[in-house]
Structure 1
Amino acid sequence: MNATNVQSYFSRGYPAHWIFVLSLCGIYLGLLYGLYVPDWQFEVQQAIHLNGPWNSTYIVKKVTCGVIGDLGPACNSAGMIDRYFLGSEHLYKKPAYRNLKICQTSEVSDLDNLPSWCQAPFDPEGLLGSLMAAVTCILGLQYGHILVRVEDHKDRLRYWLLFSVSFFSLGLFLVFIGHPLNKQLYTVSYTLLTTGSAGLTFCALYLLHEYQDESL
């Protein structure tokens, strides 16, 4: 952006968007790593056969946690928040965690030998993940601001690439220092890497479109 565009960008309150993004990321990380997750239990429906027709009953399963900052499928704070505010009965009954090798079995009778959390509900689009979904929307909005405020095509590409490479690099850095790339938890690294990848793809498509227009 030239000096006029930069001044216009800041005068329109766009920096408030970045402050909001940082605030949401801070809240997300604080809740994800800072909340204590106690032991918890849930009910699972199971069919039984006792000298007669098959019947269904509910069995209580217990998950042992008592940890802080665990990002595994059993004891993460995202699931705890959803269970507390939404209730287990309103969560997704077949989460992706069930596809893990440790949760696979071909016999119904072997279900009791699996970790109890393999049958637990979990919603990847829960309350905590919604914070990072909002961050993704706000980051995407900045690309639209550049489209509106910058008229030169090369300048648009330059700043879109700056955003995209920065997001992607920061996401890789977070993965490198130990913040995992986890779609189910919608981690900050996942948000940045997917946003950066989408931005780079958008730049490539925009460049292709402009090249075709010039060749006509």
Structure 2
Amino acid sequence: MSGSDLRDAYFEDARLHGLKVNHLTNFGERIASGWSKREIPDVQKPDIYRSIRLAYEDAEIWDTMDVFLAAEHASRRKGLLWPAFKKSKSLKTFSTWLGSLCRGAYSNYATSPWRAVFITALIPVFFAFVYLAAGLPNAAASSTSNVAQSVGQSLYFSLTTFTTLGYGDVTYSADRPFLRFLSTLEAFAGAVSMALLVVIFARKVIR
């Protein structure tokens, strides 16, 4: 397949083992799902994408490999995991499908680090507005006299909590247990998110 233009090629029932590709090979970003009145069954798509992805991985063409890695996982979620859940209605099949959905939404299956950065940045902003709506911590509330300062204090508290810095200058008192729990939950989300970011960026850099 080296140098071949395979855009709009139809691969129903095709066996694509041992593909050899180069920078001139062009599958497009998605395989053709239909031709004339025929449609590729959803259960076949993950294997087709996997074969193409492995070919680009062997050729060390990483950016294109990432395109087909994401397509492989997305088609697996839609064509295999979701039908498996609808058939069995079990917690295991649902959690597997949901995990795939979340990984796709967060980082496009670890292929889009900037999407992961954007979503990670949204988390402390979301929590900041929750704190602002629920009431600022006592130390922040006592020193805040206008809306801009309130927003700034809530963002400050949220960011220091999310990054697990925990300066301790602004905290919720013991009479607000729910907000204490919420801030702990944010700290956990921050630790997990930053660990994921390191893995995603390391994956890009090491290659």
Taking structure 1 as the reference length, the TM-score comes to 0.26
Counting strand residues as a fraction of each chain, which structure ranks higher? 1
Bigger RCO of structures 1 and 2 (CA < 8 A, at least 6 apart): 1
